Amino acid sequence: MPLIESLHAREILDSRGNPTLEVKVTLSGGVTGIASCPSGASTGTFEARELRDDDASRYRGKGVLHAVANVNGRLAASLHGQRVDNQRELDALLNFLDGTPTKAHLGANATLAVSLACARAAAQYHHIPLYLYLGGSNAHVLPVPMFNVVNGGAHAKGGTDVQEYKIIPIGAPTFSEALRYGSEIYHVLGDVLISRGYGSSIGDEGGYVPGVTSNEEVLTLLMEAIELAGYAAGTDVAIGVDPAANAFRHGEEYLLRLDSQTLSSEELISYWTGWLDRYPIISLEDPLADDDWAGFASMTKSLGDRVQIVGDDLFVTNPAFIRRGIEEKCCNCALIKPNQIGTMTETLDAAAIALHAGYACMVSHRSGETLDTGIADLAVALNCGQIKAGSPIRGERVAKYNRLLEIEHELGETAKYAGSSAFRPTTEIDAR
Ligand code: PGA
Ligand code: ZN
């Protein structure tokens, strides 16, 4: 039986240069599993708690030495001798030891790194890849990658109000071809921006930060780059947008600074509808703030059969919030970010609940990333057909895409690229 011998956590840096944890699990026979935890900047109000030291003398308060100590002390002692390949039992133990609904005591950054490191060690012990360990023998669907090629909001100071503009190669025949489409368009877009005098600064997820004069202008630039690169906008390559509307919510209204507009919830829905009328947008994430459940329900009713409406900050990968979304018919896709909830089991539960009700699921990175590629395996494990991991540049982003290339190669003939079938907008949410 594969038993846990030791746990060891260290403080490392994420892609923004802020501390995070890396955890190594060693089994009694010497097999190891290593994992690290990413970190968000535009976080949902109800995400599990990322434990930071708040000691201003180190890393401007962002150190994670307490979370590291929680792993090396309490968790190492409690998990010693536990079976590593019963993920549900291990994660239940992590929850029990934490004792809070938000992992506030141990830190979700600590629990997630431990949970994922254990899954890796177990997969290693059984000589199977992580996607098969997490998903079972039917895991074979390569997700459509959504490349966040223009960054704004909390990921790019001075950029657009809208946080993410993504290109989505739905018409590619394979994942590797999708990656090529994405890389080519990314570079053509760079040339277009230079030719317009828009500079070449880059945001946290590797996307450009052009000095546009409206939020909508970016969409015209994307259309141009897609066509210039030789692809048909809408059929080969579609567009996704993540406004991350929490960031521009002011009181009861939404303030689009770049457009000099202040809008109500209903007016903002009309604003997005205009975009859907003019551009091939197939995915719209957090178009409203995360307390605007009524707005989400109204929008899903009116637009849910036209576009994928994704709950990120709204659902925070939390089974309870996703259940509420199902009851109130909010959104038709759930974003899946393991560190929003803090264990792999709860992440898998969140996705299962969403998929069962007829939602799509999109696995996602965070704006502060590490070289950990666990989300690539998770996307294949879920057969959910969608992943967003940033631009096709920067080590921490391409690590995920390169891992998917590796999985595609490993699966060979049995690999299936999700393509446009991953996007089936619906208002038929099943609240059974
Ligand atoms: P975050 O943003 O990782 O900074 O929270 C990503 C997103 O909003 O999807
Ligand atoms: Zn988001």
Question: Could you read off the pLDDT of 288-324 as tens digits, one per residue?
Answer: 999 999 999 999 999 999 999 999 999 999 999 999 9
For the Cβ of 52 lying below 6 angstroms from any atom of ligand 1, the answer is no
Sign of CA dihedral 185, 187, 192, 198: positive
Work out the average pLDDT over 328-352: 98
121-180 pLDDT, tens digit each: 999 999 999 999 999 999 999 999 999 999 999 999 889 999 999 999 999 999 999 999
Helix/strand/coil for 199: coil
Which among 372, 363, 374 is positioned nearest to 422, based on CA atoms? 363
> Residues 322, 290: contact at Cβ < 8 Å?
no
Phi-psi region of 373 (alpha: psi -120 to 50; beta: other; left: phi over 0): alpha
Bridging pattern class, strands 360-364 and 333-336: parallel
What confidence score (pLDDT) does residue 66 get? 98
Percentage of the residues of the chain whose pLDDT score is greater than 90: 98
pLDDT tier for residue 327 given thresholds of 50, 70 and 90: very high
For the Cβ of 111 lying below 6 angstroms from any atom of ligand 1, the answer is no
333 vs 331: CA distance, rounded Å: 6
| pLDDT surpasses 90 at 429 | no
Q: How is residue 128 written in tokens? A: 């199977």
* Ligand located closest to 365 CA: 1
Q: How is residue 374 written in tokens? A: 């666990």
What confidence score (pLDDT) does residue 432 get? 67
For the Cβ of 244 lying below 6 angstroms from any atom of ligand 1, the answer is yes
Work out the average pLDDT over 234-248: 98
367 CA distance to ligand 1 middle (Å): 5
Q: How is residue 136 written in tokens? A: 């079972």
* Ligand located closest to 338 CA: 1
Work out the average pLDDT over 404-423: 97
Q: How is residue 247 written in tokens? A: 């960031």
Element (H, E) at 35: strand 32-36
410 CA distance to ligand 1 middle (Å): 30
369 CA distance to ligand 1 middle (Å): 11
What confidence score (pLDDT) does residue 200 get? 78
For the Cβ of 318 lying below 6 angstroms from any atom of ligand 1, the answer is no
> Residues 182, 167: contact at Cβ < 8 Å?
yes
A 10 A CB-CB count for 105 gives 15
What confidence score (pLDDT) does residue 430 get? 83
| pLDDT surpasses 70 at 79 | yes
Which among 293, 279, 284 is positioned nearest to 332, based on CA atoms? 284
A 10 A CB-CB count for 294 gives 12
2 vs 145: CA distance, rounded Å: 35
| pLDDT surpasses 80 at 431 | no
Task: Round to the nearest angstrom and report the end-to-end CA distance of the chain.
Answer: 39
Helix/strand/coil for 367: coil
119 vs 273: CA distance, rounded Å: 42
For the Cβ of 312 lying below 6 angstroms from any atom of ligand 1, the answer is yes
What single DSSP character describes residue 94? H
Q: How far is CA 268 from CA 152, 263, 329, 421, 425, in A?
A: 18, 6, 19, 28, 20
364 CA distance to ligand 2 middle (Å): 9
Query: Which amino acid is present at 148?
Result: N
Query: Which amino acid is present at 428?
Result: E
Mean of all residue pLDDT scores within the chain: 97
50 vs 412: CA distance, rounded Å: 38
> Residues 251, 259: contact at Cβ < 8 Å?
no
Work out the average pLDDT over 1-11: 97
> Residues 186, 371: contact at Cβ < 8 Å?
no
Which among 102, 91, 7, 93 is positioned nearest to 51, based on CA atoms? 102
What confidence score (pLDDT) does residue 23 get? 99
What confidence score (pLDDT) does residue 368 get? 98
